[in-house]
Amino acid sequence: MDRTNENQARLDWALEIACEAGNVTLQHFRQPTLEVERKGDDSPVTIADKAAENLLRERISERFPDDAIIGEEHGQTAGTSGFTWVLDPIDGTKSFIHGIPLYATLIGVLYGDPADASSGTPEVGVIRAPALDEIAYARRGGGAWHQRGSEAPQQAKVAQKTELSDALMLTSEVGSFRKRKSGQGMAAYLELDEKVRLARTWGDAYGYLMVATGQADVMFDPEMNLWDAAALQPVIEEAGGVFNDWQGTPTVHSGEAVAANASLMPAVLESLKGR
C-alpha cells in the first residue's frame, strides 16, 4: 500500500467534508434559539456539534467504509484498514455558544493497528475555522498549508522567535490549569506568563492554527482528548514546529499538549516538565 497516496486521498476528502460540516455549524452560530446540553463531564454540547459529526461520519463511510471513526459526540466505529478518522465537530464549543468565532472543526487521520484504532500515529490533520473562513491542513511529508477565504493556499510556517521574552503565548482556558492532577498546573502557567511578552486565551484549536501560521509562538493545554489533539500534530510539525506533551514526548495520547518552534520548546518544557 502506498501510504502517501492513501494519506493524500484522505486529506482531499477531509478538506471537502470539513467545509460541509463547518457550514452545518454556521447554521446554528449566533442563533438565539440555540439550546445547550451538559454531558456527563459537565462540558457543553449543542445540536450543531451532533449534526456536524453525523455528517462527517456519513461522508467518511461513503468514501472509506473500511476506516475506523472516533468522534467526540458519537464514540467509536470499528474498521479494518488501519486508518482511523478522529473527529471533533466543534472544538471550542464554549466559544461557539457565546458567539465567538474562534472555534474549529477538527479532522485527524491516524494510522496503526486496526485492533487498537485509537493508538495510531497522526498522518493527516485539518483545522477548519468556519466562522472565520480559515483553514490549516497537512499530511505527513506534504508540508502544512493555510488558506483564508478565496485566497490561494499558502505554505504554513511557524515563527522563528528564539526568546520567550519576545513570544506570544496562548492557551484555551486558564481555569483548566487548576484541575491538573499534579496540583502544579497553575504554577506552570504563571511561570510561563512571567516569561513571555504576551499571554492570551485565543485558544482551543485556533491557538494551534495561530502557532502553525506564525501568528503566535506557544500554545499549550493541560487537558486534551484524542479528538482535540489528533488533527493538530501533523499541522504543527509539517509547519516546522514541535508538538508534544508536557514531558517532551511527541504524542497525541498523553492528555495534554504544547506546541512551539524548536528554539522555544526547551525553555517552555523547563517550566512544564514534572508538572
Binding-site residues, in ranges, read 72, 88, 90-91, 228
- How many whole angstroms from its chain centre is CA 273? 22
Distance CA 94, CA 96 (A): 5
Q: Are 161 and 263 in contact (CB under 8 A)?
A: yes
What is the phi/psi pair of residue 3, to 5°? -65, -30
For residue 105, CA distances in Å to 145, 215, 250 come to 16, 20, 22
Q: Give the number of other Cβ atoms within 10 Å of residue 119's Cβ.
A: 12
- Residue set of the binding site for Mg(2+): 72, 88, 90-91, 228
Q: Which residue has the cell 506546541?
A: 259
